Amino acid sequence: MSALFFLALALQTPIEDGIKALDAGKPAEAEAQFLKAVAADAKDYSAYFNLAFAQSVQNKDPEATINYRKVLELKPGLYEAELNLGILLLRQKLPKDAIPLLDAAAKTKPDQYRPNFYLGEALIDVNRGAEAEAAYRRALGINPKSAEAAQGVGQSLLNQGKTADGAVFIEQAAGLDPNYQPALLHLASVYEADKNFDAAIAIYRRFPNEPAARERLGELLIETGKAASAIPELEAAVKASPTAANLTALATAYLQAKQPEKCQPVLDAALRLEPNNGELRVLYGRLLRDLRKFDLAANQFALAVKLNPQAAEAWADLAMVTVMLERYDVALPALDQVKRLNAEKPGHKYLRAITLDKIKQNKQQAKLAAAAYQDFLNSAGGKFPDEEFKARTRLKILEREINK
């Protein structure tokens, strides 16, 4: 090789070496060269710019942030530095710090897509919906085929409560790029919040291969009184990915569709997944009770109150089913727990009166039963005519026994 070649290599600057390293995909080597450059000239803003860029490529965000700020100290208003630093701050979840930089960049080059889009991203992160919408609209105007900008406009409109307007842009984004289809699921949740269940159901139906979407579709159909339509959706969700939640929803759909015989194996499967789920055991107990399998129902309610001693409804269910089984030794303590939890209603007072009446063996116990019947009558207020008639009848009989 000639002497001139070696002389040219010797004269090559660190910045040139760094740029070559970047072009070769070696950002760490580039960073080392740019560090030499800033050490050689602390006022060379281009050296700091390239150093920051090489660091950002390596995800050294704090270091890159410091060096981009140094660039702007040396060269205030440099568009590329404002834009890159703004994006870098967004990446670090610092949208408030990014906004003035991105706003300045967008004003410097209003016809450029990136500053407008990222300004929208920063503004939406701090809940400045109307301003975010304007920035996203400018970006979409510059690039009408940008799915991310269309989604940004749509999301900013949704955040302002403009669901119908936002839906147009969410649909546009999904049409431009299949990767933005999941935004439709968020739109469905917004429809749910707006109580527009038909619109939400229509979106969930568009995701037949998504178990979570089919599960939510099934739950919504149950909630809107369409249990029979919910069953195939929930069966598909369970088949794809069984969970305690979708199994429970499927069992609920079977119950509402008057197919109770299908519920027990489904709830068995749910309990195998979550044996310590007290609410699930209460649901199972009620199914067993309705199927008149009272012993099995009592076992489930007993397990439920063991798992959660503060569950007043589970104690009430345990009391009711054990009264039916004439297990008064279990029913009375369960009713005591209902009372302790301040959940006692007239029906519970009636069960207490029946229980005390059944176990009485002397006048003192008869007085307790009579007092319980009277307590029930005082609280019933004519809302339970059959039970009130029975209570008055038993009260008269008890009073005669007591007065003998």
Whole-number Cα distances in Å, 44 to 15, 47, 65, 75, 76? 10, 5, 17, 10, 13
Q: Which position has the higher pLDDT, 291 or 173? A: 173
Q: Is the CB of residue 355 less than 8 Å from the CB of residue 327?
A: no
Tell me the whole-structure pTM to 2 decimals.
0.70
- pLDDT tens digits for range 265-318: 999 999 999 999 999 999 999 989 988 999 999 999 999 999 999 999 999 999
State the DSSP string of 115-162.
Answer: HHHHHHHHHHHTT-HHHHHHHHHHHHHH-TT-HHHHHHHHHHHHHTT-
pLDDT tier, 258 (very low <50, low <70, confident <90, very high otherwise): confident
Q: What is the pLDDT of residue 369?
A: 87
Q: Which position has the higher pLDDT, 290 or 172? A: 172
User: What tokens were used for 262?
Assistant: 């299908």
- pLDDT tens digits for range 20-59: 988 899 999 988 988 998 898 899 999 899 999 999 999 9
Q: Is the CB of residue 321 less than 8 Å from the CB of residue 297?
A: yes
Strand blocks (E) in 200-307: none
Q: What is the pLDDT of residue 277?
A: 93
User: What tokens were used for 326?
Assistant: 């004439």
Mean pLDDT (whole number) for 215-220: 92
Q: What is the pLDDT of residue 55?
A: 93
Q: What is the pLDDT of residue 93?
A: 96
Q: Kindly tell me if the per-residue pLDDT of 3 is higher than 50.
A: no
DSSP single-letter state for residue 42: T
Residues 6+ apart with CB under 8 A from 107: none
Whole-number Cα distances in Å, 102 to 39, 70, 117, 224? 29, 17, 9, 46
Q: What is the pLDDT of residue 12?
A: 60
pLDDT tier, 4 (very low <50, low <70, confident <90, very high otherwise): very low
Q: Kindly tell me if the per-residue pLDDT of 7 is higher than 70.
A: no
Q: Which position has the higher pLDDT, 30 or 200? A: 200
Q: Kindly tell me if the per-residue pLDDT of 6 is higher than 90.
A: no
Q: Is 176 exposed, middle or buried (0-12, 13-18, 19+ CB in 10 A)?
A: middle
First to last CA, the chain: 131
Q: What is the pLDDT of residue 11?
A: 41
Q: What is the pLDDT of residue 296?
A: 94
- pLDDT tens digits for range 66-96: 999 999 999 999 999 999 999 999 999 999 9
Q: Kindly tell me if the per-residue pLDDT of 154 is higher than 90.
A: yes
What is the chain's mean pLDDT, rounded?
92
